[in-house]
Chains A and B, each alone.
Chain A
Amino acid sequence: MEINAEAQAVIDRIAAVMAKPPRFNAEAITQCFKRQYELLV
C-alpha cells in the first residue's frame, strides 16, 4: 500500500516532533482543544 503525499506530510510532521520534542505551549494546546470542542458541538 503506497502512502499518499498528504499522509506522508503528516507522518513527517510526527517524525519531526519525535526527533526533537518541541517546547510545551499550554496556550496553543488549549486552543487546539477549544477548536476540537467547537467541531464536536
Chain B
Amino acid sequence: MKMPNVEVGKDLVYGYKAARDAAWGAAWGAAWDAVWGAARGAARGAAWGAARDAAWDAAWDAARDAAVLNTGLKDSASLRFLALEMEMLRALENGLGWYFPMKNKLILIPIPKIAVDERKRLHSLEKPAVSWRGGAKFHFIHGVKFDKILWEKVRRNRLSVEEMLGLKNTEQRMAVLKVKGPDALLAEANAVMVNQTPSKKYQLYLIENVFSQPAYFLKYVCPSTGRVYVSGVEPEVGKLKDAGKAIAWKWGLEKEEYGQIIEAS
C-alpha cells in the first residue's frame, strides 16, 4: 500500500471542491452528483460552518485519542488506535485543520486564521473573521455571517437606518444592532416612543421620513436571552399605538392572551 501524494489546499472550499471533482470520476459519481446538485453552493457554507464550530477534522480525531486514553484500555487494538490518532494530534499541532484522503492524493487544509468576540463567536470589524492565507475569507459579526459589501458598510458605519432596519435576515439585523446599539439606532432615525407597557420592557416607536410611509418598531428585551430587539410592526397594528398589542401581534396572539406575560414582565 503506497501512500498517495500530498497536496496542500488553499482553503476548505478547495478541499470540498476537490473531493467533489474526485468523486465524479468514481463509480458512485452519479450518486454524489445527485447530492451535490441539491447542495450546490453549500461548499462555501460548509466551509465557514465548520470553521465556526472549530470542528476541524484533525481536532476531532485528536479528541478521540483523549477519549480512548480515558478508558485506560491497553490491549493491542486500542494501543494501535491510539498510535494512529496520536499522529493526528501531532498533525493538528502542526497546523492541520482538515484533510481529504482520496484515491490518488491526500489534500491537507491548514487551520484558518480566526477572530472571535468575548463569547467565542466568530467576529471582527477589522478583518475577515475566518481567513486562509491566499484563500477564502469569511466575514462575521458576533457569530453572524455577512457578505463583504454589507460587512464593510457596517464596520464603516455607512449602513443607513433604512438599510439596518430593513435587513430581512433577523440574525444580521441583531448583529448590526449590537454594533450600533439599539438606542443609537433609534436616535439616528429620530424615532419617537409612542407607547410602552407598564413594565417599560416593551416600547413602541414611530419612525417617520425614513421609509416610504411611517413605520413602527417595537423595542423589547427577550425574557430568555436578555437581548434587546428592535423589530418591525405591521403599520395597521402600530397605528393602534399600543405596545402590548404590538408584542401580542408579534407572537400571533390577542393582547388578552398575551396579557399575563406582559403583566408578569
Contact = CB atoms under 8 A, between A and B. Distances in A.
Nearest to B87: A32
Main secondary structure, interface of A, reads: helix
Interface stretch (B37-45, B91-99, B176-184, B226-234): B91-99
B102 interface: no
A27 to B, nearest CB: 9
Interface residues of B, number: 35
B84 interface: yes
Q: How large is the interface on A (under 10, 10 to 19, 20 to 34, 35 or more residues)?
A: 20 to 34
Given A14-B59, A14-B62, A40 B1 contact: yes
A13 to B, nearest CB: 6
Given A4-B70, A10-B89, A33-B87, 15 more contacts: A7-B69, A13-B89, A14-B89, A17-B92, A17-B93, A17-B111, A22-B95, A25-B94, A28-B90, A29-B91, A29-B96, A32-B96, A33-B3, A33-B91, A33-B99
Interface of A: 1, 3-4, 6-8, 10-11, 13-14, 17-18, 21-26, 28-30, 32-37, 39-41
Interface of B: 1, 3, 6, 8, 54, 59, 62-63, 65-67, 69-70, 72, 80, 83-84, 87-96, 99, 106, 108, 110-114
